[in-house]
């Protein structure tokens, strides 16, 4: 390679770095808005749901799946260990928000299903969030909203995959 010619891949890496550096403050801002703004807690208060955050996540996983799930499936969707889900399911079951049903494909296994009260709570929560997000995006053109959803989904999926690969690498000494 000619030492006078700039390396195209190095220039691309610099551009990519600059793009990411420009986005980082916005990602930090969004994280702060979601966490410090107590989005989950506010939505649960508005929807009159009285469970803790992890239990709400279990109800949402069931709501989004629109079918009963095994404990392991819920854990995978939430990216947590199964024992955490078991504790949450036990509490939700005690409160009458979920129940265990027999898996029709394996009579020995149990699925977790939202009760009508649990499904209603998850629905109220989702309607609350959708209302807030709709209000925030009210002035956006439809194409911008669609692009935002598509790109945010792609980013979340790619980052999740990348971080999972890092978790699978052996720790360097």
Q: Whole-angstrom distance between the N-terminal and C-terminal Cα of the chain?
A: 35
Give the mean model confidence (pLDDT) for residues 85-108.
94
pLDDT at 173: 46
Residue 15, pLDDT > 60, answer yes
What does the pLDDT look like over 48-82, one tens digit per residue?
A: 999 999 999 999 999 999 899 999 999 999 988 88
Measured in degrees and rounded to the nearest 5, phi and psi for residue 67 equal -165, 160
Token match 């807690």: residue? 41
The predicted structure's pLDDT at residue 82: 81
Per-residue confidence (pLDDT) for residue 130, from 0 to 100: 95
Angle between helices 71-78 and 53-65 (to 10 degrees): 110
Distance of CA 162 to the CA centre of its chain: 16
**What DSSP string runs through 62-130?**
HHHHTS-B-HHHHHHHHTS-HHHHHHHHHHHHHTTSEEEEEETTEEEEEEEEE-HHHHHHHHHHHHHHH
Residues 129-153 pLDDT 10s: 999 999 999 999 999 999 999 999 9
The residue ranking higher by pLDDT, 9 or 87, is 87
Question: pLDDT digits over 81-93, tens only?
Answer: 888 899 999 999 9
What are the structure tokens assigned to 46, written together? 């508005």
């Amino acid at each position: 390679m000619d030492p006078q010619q700039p390396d195209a891949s190095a220039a691309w890496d610099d551009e990519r770095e600059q793009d990411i550096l420009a986005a980082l403050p916005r990602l930090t801002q969004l994280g702060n808005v979601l966490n410090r703004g107590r989005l989950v807690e506010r939505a649960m208060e508005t929807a009159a749901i009285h469970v803790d955050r992890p239990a709400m996540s279990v109800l949402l996983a069931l709501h989004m799946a629109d079918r009963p799930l095994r404990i392991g499936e819920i854990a995978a969707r939430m990216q947590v260990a199964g024992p955490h889900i078991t504790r949450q399911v036990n509490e939700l079951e005690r409160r009458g928000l979920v129940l265990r049903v027999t898996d029709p494909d394996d009579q020995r296994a149990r699925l977790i299903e939202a009760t009508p009260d649990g499904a209603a709570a998850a629905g109220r929560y989702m309607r609350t969030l959708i209302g807030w997000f709709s209000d925030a995006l009210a002035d956006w053109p439809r194409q911008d909203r669609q692009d935002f959803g598509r790109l945010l989904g792609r980013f979340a999926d790619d980052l999740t995959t990348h971080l999972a690969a890092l978790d699978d690498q052996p720790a360097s000494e």
